[in-house]
A = this chain, B = another copy of it.
Amino acid sequence: MVRIAVDAMGGDYAPREVVHGAILAAKEFGVSVLLVGNPDAVNAELKRHPQEGLNIEVVPATEVVGMDEKPSRAVLKKKDSSIVVATRLVAQGRADGVVAAGSTGAAAVAAQLELGRIANVDRSAIACMMPTITASKPCVMVDCGANVDCTPQMLFQFGLMGSILCEGLLNYENPRVGILNLGTEETKGTELVKQAYKLLKASSKLNFIGFVEGRDFPMSKVDVVVTDGFTGNVALKTAEGIARMISVALKQELLSSLRTKIGGQIAEPAFQALKNRIDYNESGGALLIGVKGVYVIAHGGSKHTAIKNAIRAARDLVNADVVKKIESILANGTTGSTP
């Protein structure tokens, strides 16, 4: 039975929605959940739900890292915070993976501190699932914000890790890996992407398709988008912002006349289906990769469904043995040369 440690105090709706999501996950996926946080607060929430036959344990943690705190300082100071204790459970072998909602920075620092990086990984990174035109076939973008400055070597490792993640989490066979650039021609782009291109192209370990543009990933032309954390974060947030803008504008237009109001009400199931397809909150969150453990970071605004999905993602990553696979593919060095 897969054991997932959940930071019960993290996120805008903690502990209520986190505990609720954890119970749903224990029920639906048969995982064992360790809820880490203030025992009184967590138990009060647990009482609201029937838990017969579920594997749920409360692990006490006396402190909480707030969203407004500087991650590195807060995590280093608060050794008994819920995020640190949850992460430590994996380091101690008491859990197989962590789910935390809220501060990506705090999660990254806690993971670095308690789990450490996989050998030959220069830096851990944030991978995000991005909705695409192909329903329930997202693409993976790495890095979405952990590393502002990157080396070609790091991008190469992002490609390898992203590919393994994509296979393990999404079950894609031979996922197509591309580097985000401002054009698809080999001669275009920064020195960083040109050098990374050479490394990825020289590797026989993955299905490298070359440079891709910002309009390619939404149209399902690539499965793993490799990029530095600055560009990746801009792309991710632009995608979120445009999706939000269109959703609001669509509502405005549907309410603009009696005719469109009526049509809109009849067609409502289509809008609901569309919302589910492009909703960034429901996708199971971001993944911290390159550390010695499965680490899922749910959106700060996660409600129970998002928490449940994040726990499922953690379970899938544990079952796919993603951490061991990354260790093994990087074991013979991080150069682009074939083994």
Name A's B-contacting residues (CB within 8 A): 131-133, 135, 145, 148-149, 180-183, 188-190, 213-219, 227, 229-231, 233-246, 248-250, 252-254, 256-257, 259-260, 262-271, 273-274, 277-278
Contacts and interface: CB of A to CB of B under 8 A. Distances in A.
A238 B241 CA distance: 11
Contacts of A132: 245
A212 B266 CA distance: 38
6 nearest interchain CB pairs? A263-B267, A263-B266, A214-B237, A215-B241, A214-B238, A182-B233
A189 B278 CA distance: 28
Question: What is the total number of copies of this protein in its complex?
Answer: 2
Contacts of A249: 133, 135, 274, 277-278
B218 A241 contact: yes
A149 B182 CA distance: 12
A204 to B, nearest CB: 28
- Which residue, of A214, A267, A278, has the highest number of chain B Cβ atoms within 10 A? A267
Interface majority SS (helix, strand, loop, mixed), chain A: helix
Nearest to A255: B270
B259 A267 contact: yes
Contact of A236 (B214, B237, B269): B214
Contacts of A267: 254, 259-260, 262-264, 266-267
B237 A213 contact: yes
Contact of A239 (B236, B242, B269): B242
